[in-house]
Amino acid sequence: MKLKLTLEYDGAGFHGWARQPGLRTVEAVVEDALGGVFPHWEGLAVAGRTDTGVHATGQVASVEVEGGPPPQRVAEALNTELPEDVAVVASQEAASDFHARFSARSRSYRYRVLARKTHSPLEAGRALWWSRPVDFESLVEVAVRVVGEHDFRAFTPTETQHDSFVRVVDDARWYERGDAVELEITADSFLRHMVRTLVGTMLERDPDEFLPLLEAAPRAAAGTTAPPWGLYLVRVGY
Q: Just list the catalytic residues.
A: 51
Helix, strand, coil shares of the chain as percentages rounded to 5?
25, 35, 40
User: Beta strand 128-129 with 106-114: parallel, antiparallel or unpaired?
Assistant: parallel
Q: Burial level of 219, CB count in 10 A (0-12/13-18/19+)? A: middle
Q: Could you give the CA distance from residue 90 to residue 73 in angstroms, rounded to a whole number?
A: 9
**From CA 76, how far away is CA 24, in angstroms rounded?**
23
CA-nearest of 175, 179, 154, 183 to 166 is 154
Which of 11, 7, 33 minimizes the C-alpha distance to 24? 11
Cα angle for residues 89, 91, 92 (degrees, 5° grid): 150
Structural element, H or E, at residue 173: strand 166-177
Tell how many helices (H) and how many strands (E) occur in the chain.
Answer: 4, 10
Cα-based angle 180, 220, 184 (whole degrees, multiple of 5)? 25
